Amino acid sequence: MSWNLIKQSDLRKAEEIVISRTKAGGDLRVALGYPNVYEVGMSNLGLQVVYDILNSMPGVVCERFFLPSEKEIAEFERCGRELFTMESQRPLKEFQVVAFTVAFEPDYVNLVRILDLADIPIFSEDRLKGGFPLILAGGAVSLLNPEPIADFIDVFCLGEAEDFLPGFAERFREWQRSASDDTEELLRELASLPGAYIPSFWQAFYGEEGEFAACLPKEGKPENRLERLHLSADRYAEECRHSQILTENTELGRSGLIEISRGCAFNCRFCTVGFSYPKIRWKPLNKIWEAIEALRRHTDKVGLISATAGTYPHIEELCQMLIDNKLSVAFSSLRVDSLPDCMLRALTAGGSKTVTLAPEVGSDELRRVANKLFTDVQYLQTAGRAFEAGVVNLRMYSMIGLPGERRDHLQALIDLAAQTRKLQVACGRGAGKITLSTGQLIPKPFTPFQWHKVLDKKTAADYFRILERGIAKLGGVAFSGESPKWAMIQALLARGDRRLSRVIAEVCKGASPAQWLQACRRAGIDADRELYGERDPESQAFPWFHLTPAANLERLRKDRAKAFEYAGKLSAVK
Q: What is the three-class DSSP state of 50?
A: helix
- Which stretch of DSSP H or E encloses residue 99? strand 97-101
Q: Output phi, psi for 399, to 5 deg.
A: -145, 160
Cβ-proximal residues to 301 (8 Å cutoff; 6+ apart), any chain: 252, 253, 254, 255, 256, 327, 328, 329, 330, 350
The b/e string for 327-337 (b: 16+ C-beta within 10 A; e otherwise) is bbbbbebbbbe
Closest to 516 (Cα-Cα) out of 492, 497, 496: 492
Give the span between the Cα atoms of 147 and 161, in whole angstroms.
19
Q: In this structure, are 382 and 250 located in the same domain?
A: no
Q: In this structure, are 470 and 496 located in the same domain?
A: yes
Total domain count for the chain?
Answer: 3
Closest to 88 (Cα-Cα) out of 66, 62, 114, 111: 62
Along the chain (574 residues), what's the average pLDDT of each consecutive run of 10 residues?
A: 82 89 82 97 95 94 96 90 94 97 96 97 91 95 94 96 95 88 89 94 92 88 76 94 91 89 92 88 97 95 95 97 96 94 96 95 96 96 97 97 95 98 97 96 94 94 97 96 95 96 95 95 94 85 85 88 88 50
Q: In this structure, are 294 and 422 located in the same domain?
A: no
Determine, yes or no, domain membership for 226: no
Q: What is the three-class DSSP state of 329?
A: strand
Residue where one domain finishes, among candidates 184, 217, 250: 217
Q: In this structure, are 482 and 435 located in the same domain?
A: yes
Determine, yes or no, domain membership for 452: yes
Q: In this structure, are 197 and 297 located in the same domain?
A: no
CATH code for position 280: 3.30.750.210
Q: In this structure, are 308 and 403 located in the same domain?
A: no
Q: In this structure, are 346 and 359 located in the same domain?
A: no
Q: In this structure, are 146 and 243 located in the same domain?
A: no
Residue type, 507: V
Determine, yes or no, domain membership for 459: yes
Q: In this structure, are 374 and 296 located in the same domain?
A: no
The reported pLDDT for the residue numbered 573 is: 46
Q: In this structure, are 347 and 472 located in the same domain?
A: no
Give the span between the Cα atoms of 260 and 242, in whole angstroms.
10
Residue where one domain finishes, among candidates 337, 352, 367: 352
In this structure, are strands 155-157 and 196-197 parallel, antiparallel, or unpaired?
antiparallel
Q: In this structure, are 131 and 239 located in the same domain?
A: no
Residue 462 domain boundaries: 353-574
Residue where one domain finishes, among candidates 321, 352, 383: 352
Cα dihedral: 527, 528, 533, 536 (round 10)? -30
Q: In this structure, are 28 and 161 located in the same domain?
A: yes
Determine, yes or no, domain membership for 257: yes
Determine, yes or no, domain membership for 228: no
Contact 126, 522 (CB under 8 A): no
Give the span between the Cα atoms of 65 and 87, in whole angstroms.
9
The reported pLDDT for the residue numbered 223 is: 57
Determine, yes or no, domain membership for 227: no
